[in-house]
Amino acid sequence: MHKPAGILVSGNHFKTIANALVQNIKQSTLSDAARPQPVHRLDYATTGVLLVGKTNDSIRKLNKQFEQKNIEKIYYAVTIGHMNNEGIISSDIDNKQSQSKYKVIKTVSSERFNKLNLVQLEPLTGRRHQLRIHLSELGHPILGDKDYGIDHLILKGKGLYLHAYALKFKHPYTNETIYIKSKFPQRFSKIFGNI
């Protein structure tokens, strides 16, 4: 499913994706049907692809694929400043080793920010806020990031420019490779034109 910005995936709140799934996704007809539920997390402000399981077995198998890092995740972000074309960012987050690959796809000039970059990101580990922290540590925070941005460059009221673009994984029953993607938010296209 596509997750919009500004909604929690799960948690102790009424308005969450997890609570909305029951009314919006058809329940499985298999014998181990479960309440549909997300099998991974996206930050409150992040848009994009969210994987949902509908049976106990599929939820367990998909969770295992995430734990064993067998699911490829591709994100896109808009970052601030002049960046190297590509690289790997490594650091400790919460005392655990973390790594993210990045590649600059497109750069445009900006009066306020000097340069804005469309960056493809691949988290190689799965720490909380990993991509946001890594880009901030690199000195190129994500546009609109209130937590890890540079104070005088924080874009207010526009949200976080981080998008979960694609997931590649093995279907838990058929074992076929599934590749799902979510089109870019319109606000990305406003900056970079056709992406």
> In angstroms, how far is CA 178 from the centroid of its own chain?
17
Tokens at 95, concatenated: 């005392």
Residue whose entry in the numeric block shows the structure tokens 């590509």: 86
Active-site residue identified among 32, 43, 57, 151: 43
Q: Give CA–CA dist 50/160, Å, rounded.
A: 17
Closest to 132 in 3D by CA, of 85, 75, 84 = 75
Residue whose entry in the numeric block shows the structure tokens 């000195």: 139
Question: Is 43 a catalytic site residue?
Answer: yes
Phi/psi class of residue 105: alpha, beta or left (left: φ > 0; alpha: ψ in -120 to 50)?
alpha
Provide the β-strand partners of residue 162.
77
CB atoms within 10 A of CB 105: 14
Q: Give CA–CA dist 179/113, Å, rounded.
A: 34
Residues with active-site annotation:
43
